[in-house]
Amino acid sequence: KPCPLCDEAKEVLEPYKRKFILQEVDITLPENSAWYDKYKYDIPVFHLNGKFLMKHRVNIQKFEDQLRKLELQSE
C-alpha cells in the first residue's frame, strides 16, 4: 500500500463484479509470503478460478474471453 495499479484494476473490473468474486490478497502479510516471493515485482496479478490470467494491468479482452469460456463450461 498504496498500490495505484491495484486501484486502477479494481475500477476496470467494477462493471464485472456480478460475474465473479474478487478476492484480494495482500502479499505483504506473513501468511502470504509464497505469493510475495513469486510476485513481488509484478503486482497486481490476476488469477481466475485459481489459474494465472495476467499481471500489471487488466487486459479486458483476455478477461472477457476467459469469463465467456467459464460461463459456457457451466451451462
**What is the DSSP secondary-structure string of 29-54?**
SGGGHHHHHHHTTS-SEEEETTEEEE
Q: Which helix (H) or strand (E) holds 26?
A: none
Pairing of strands 51-55, 45-48: antiparallel
pLDDT per residue rounded down to tens, the chain (75 residues) = 788 999 999 999 999 989 888 999 999 999 999 999 999 999 999 999 999 999 999 999 999 999 999 989 887
CATH of 4-73, one of 3.10.20.30, 3.40.190.10, 3.40.50.460, 3.40.30.10: 3.40.30.10
Predicted pLDDT at 34: 96
Predicted pLDDT at 74: 83
Q: Which residues contact 35 (CB under 8 A, 6 or more apart)?
A: 25, 27
